[in-house]
């Protein structure tokens, strides 16, 4: 595989949203053209229905804002799901090729860490109209966290240690407790000496929990209090205005969210929950189709014992309970690319060649058979 394709797929997340969307359309066209010329290797089993279901969800999500506000309506954010579908197709296609993402992922993590380190040290602010405008701290941390299983299961030696160190650095610069805790667990799982010692693993889990909840969970904590009130307001919106097949979109929900007296905050953009955000912004019909997509994705991965994909999927869903990841097309598109890539990469054919830590298991040696002597 040409490493430029996965490099472009993940580095496109640095672009402003309109440029990212255009880049994904161009890349999916290029990827499908190359596949049409070669016609090999085939996409992994089950990927076709997954693409169809997600495309149906993307189309349904566009209906509410379009009909309620007109074709050129107030909110066309739902079009981003079409670009996310393109990212998923790119991930499926590139994941079946040899090489690729593992070679360029350390470079991406290094650039991300250096970029956010610069912002942290200089307190610089980026303009939303700038060409280079990556996602905010939480979305970028969620995006990088989904790469963790690829680091642990597909890298080895110094390269794996380098990537884990870069993730620790990024988590510090972005003040992401979730990424810091997940990277700590991934580091513990990466070393056989730690994995085989139950006491050390318990200590690693306890330390990760301490990092995640080091301020506790209470109404005296500003962050926890804010999140709880946002969820409360979002549920109220879902129960009243959200009880429609198709809803008004994310802009209408954000307007309502900022009218409500949320604790000491001037501007709230989303529900801080993936499932709740889709419900309140797009209605229960798109939500049902999206849940079908998630269930089908998980079942396909489980049926194939695709542990690389399942690990990425679990991290995505866990973070989705704390962040409305869909609100930023760069982060959501990159995550969909990663899920598609991990699904293809961790298929039954590829899975047989790796074990935890990225090392290939020894192949059994066929027993020596002495040919029978002639009578």
User: 314-360, pLDDT tens digit by residue?
Assistant: 999 999 888 888 888 889 999 999 999 999 988 755 544 444 544 44
How many whole angstroms separate alpha carbon 307 and alpha carbon 39? 27
> Which of 170, 28, 159, 8 lies closest to 88, judged by CA?
28
pLDDT at 157 over 50: yes
How many whole angstroms separate alpha carbon 364 and alpha carbon 356? 18
3-state DSSP helix/strand/coil percent for the chain, to nearest 5?
70, 0, 30
Residue 12's pLDDT band, with cuts at 50, 70 and 90, is confident
What is the average pLDDT across 3-22? 83
pTM summary value: 0.84
As a whole number, the mean pLDDT across the chain is 79
pLDDT at 68: 60
Residue 150's pLDDT band, with cuts at 50, 70 and 90, is very high
What is the average pLDDT across 360-370? 47
Q: Which residue has the higher pLDDT, 313 or 132?
A: 313
> Which of 31, 18, 19, 87 lies closest to 54, judged by CA?
87
What is the average pLDDT across 166-193? 90
């Amino acid at each position: 595989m040409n490493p430029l394709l996965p490099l472009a797929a993940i580095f496109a997340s640095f672009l402003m949203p309109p440029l990212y969307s255009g880049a994904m359309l161009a890349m999916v066209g290029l990827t499908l053209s190359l596949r049409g010329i070669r016609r090999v290797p085939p996409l992994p089993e089950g990927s076709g229905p997954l693409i169809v279901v997600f495309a149906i969800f993307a189309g349904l999500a566009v209906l509410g804002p379009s009909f309620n506000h007109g074709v050129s309506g107030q909110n066309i954010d739902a079009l981003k799901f079409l670009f996310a579908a393109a990212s998923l197709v790119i991930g499926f296609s590139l994941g079946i090729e040899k090489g690729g993402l593992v070679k360029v992922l350390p470079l991406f993590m290094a650039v991300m860490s250096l970029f956010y380190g610069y912002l942290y040290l200089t307190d610089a602010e980026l303009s939303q109209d700038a060409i280079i405008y990556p996602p905010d701290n939480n979305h970028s941390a969620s995006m990088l966290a989904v790469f963790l299983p690829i680091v642990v299961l597909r890298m080895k030696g110094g390269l794996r240690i380098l990537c884990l160190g870069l993730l620790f650095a990024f988590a510090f610069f972005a003040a992401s407790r979730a990424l810091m805790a997940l990277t700590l667990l991934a580091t513990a799982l990466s070393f056989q000496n730690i994995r085989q010692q139950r006491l050390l693993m318990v200590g690693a889990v306890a330390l990760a929990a301490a990092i995640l909840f080091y301020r506790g969970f209470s109404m005296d904590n500003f962050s926890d209090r804010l999140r709880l009130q946002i969820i409360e307001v979002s549920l109220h919106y879902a129960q009243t205005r959200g009880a429609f097949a198709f809803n008004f979109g994310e802009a209408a929900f954000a307007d309502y969210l900022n009218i409500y007296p949320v604790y000491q905050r001037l501007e709230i953009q989303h529900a801080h929950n993936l499932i709740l955000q889709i419900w309140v912004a797009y209605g229960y019909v798109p939500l049902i189709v999206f849940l079908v997509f998630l269930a089908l994705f998980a079942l396909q991965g489980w049926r194939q014992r695709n542990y690389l994909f399942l690990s990425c999927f679990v991290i995505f869903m866990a973070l989705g309970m704390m962040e409305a990841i869909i609100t930023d097309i760069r982060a959501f598109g990159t995550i969909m690319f990663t899920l598609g890539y991990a699904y293809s990469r961790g298929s039954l054919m590829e899975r047989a060649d790796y074990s935890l830590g990225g090392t290939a298991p020894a192949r059994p040696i066929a027993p020596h058979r002495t040919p029978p002597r002639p009578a």
